[in-house]
Amino acid sequence: MKIIPAIITFKVSEIRVYPREEGKKFPGEPIDVIIDPPLNRVGFDRLVRSREIEVEDGKLVGFQALTIFEEDEELIYERWHIEDGSWKVEYVTPND
């Protein structure tokens, strides 16, 4: 069956993270992390570019990604966190 999609959406509900271990060349053992509530496309894009993630009891509770706004080429960190059961984003400069 062929389908011509008008829109394709997805929700990410689980990831596998290979942590960076200080002083070692290769990543550490993988950790499965549940994402609840699931992330949308924008959130997933930011997650895979994140500088750090925060996990509690095997569940993703926050992460931080670096974004460059092309209008003025300003570096901005996006801090994603769960608030009232949904993902919220806060924009901060590296100096904050």
Q: Compute the Cα dihedral for 23, 29, 35, 39 and give only its sign.
A: positive
Q: Looking at the domain assignment, is residue 41 inside a domain?
A: no
Domain tally for the chain? 1
Q: Looking at the domain assignment, is residue 37 inside a domain?
A: no
CA distance to 6, 30, 36, 38, per residue, from 21 (Å)? 43, 12, 26, 27
Comparison of pLDDT for 67 and 18, the residue scoring more: 18
Give me the pLDDT at residue 72, please.
67
Percent of the chain beyond pLDDT 70? 92
Give me the pLDDT at residue 74, please.
74
Q: Looking at the domain assignment, is residue 43 inside a domain?
A: no
Strand (E) or helix (H) holding 44: helix 41-48
> Residue 85 belongs to what domain range?
53-96
Q: Looking at the domain assignment, is residue 20 inside a domain?
A: no
The total of other beta-carbon atoms located within 10 Å of residue 65's CB is 20
Phi/psi-derived region of residue 61, left when phi > 0, alpha when psi is between -120 and 50, beta in every other case? alpha
Give me the pLDDT at residue 57, please.
95
Q: Looking at the domain assignment, is residue 27 inside a domain?
A: no
Q: State the average pLDDT over residues 25-37.
A: 91
